[in-house]
Amino acid sequence: LEKNILYNFFGQSTLIILGFVSAKLIYSQLGEDFLGIIYFSLMLNTLLVAALDLGLTSTTIKEIAAYHETDPAYAHSIIRSGSLFYWSAYLLVALAIFWSAPLLVQRWINLNAMPPDEATSILRVLGVAAVLALPSTFFASIFRGIQSMGLPNTIDVAASGTQQVGVVTLLVLRSPPIWVVW
């Protein structure tokens, strides 16, 4: 328990610090429209993950914790069923975001300097990538169930760190904004 608490604390603290650094660089280099689209994507992602959770991650944690050692076949069936559900949900939501991006930009995002077509492209890429949190949340619940938080926190910090290094590198090289998005 103590080790898992430490993994969670240091992993999440590092992600918070990286988030602040990222926001500062993106705002100062690419502007408020760009940062606004990023935060819109994050907000949309948070709402969708919460709405589509349906209590499944909590149930997964409990069932995996209870049965991963005593009935591995049952635990594997939970993982297979959950994987199918979350990857299917991801595909449907990603397609919905991709196709509704022009409408979202037109009606929900207030642009000051960025052309709507560019904002639509950015929202499509970020929105589809952001909802990867759906299957990611499910797989993290499996690790919580087996009480192994080191791996998911290491993956989160490594992925975020890699992303931040990429963003900084591209901004220093004055790359086009869409490269930063990708």
Separation of alpha carbons 135 and 145, rounded Å? 15
User: Which of 123, 101, 111 shows the shortest CA–CA distance to 177?
Assistant: 123
Q: What is the pTM of this model?
A: 0.78
> DSSP string spanning 120-176?
HHHHHHHHHHHTTHHHHHHHHHHHHHTT--HHHHHHHHHHHHHHHHHHHHHHHTT--
Residues 6+ apart with CB under 8 A from 93: 48, 52, 131, 134
Separation of alpha carbons 13 and 7, rounded Å? 10
pLDDT digit string (tens) for the chain, length 182 residues: 677 677 778 777 877 887 787 778 788 888 889 888 988 888 888 888 888 888 888 999 999 999 999 999 999 999 999 999 999 999 999 999 999 999 999 998 889 989 999 999 999 999 999 899 889 889 888 988 888 777 777 777 787 778 777 887 887 788 888 888 88
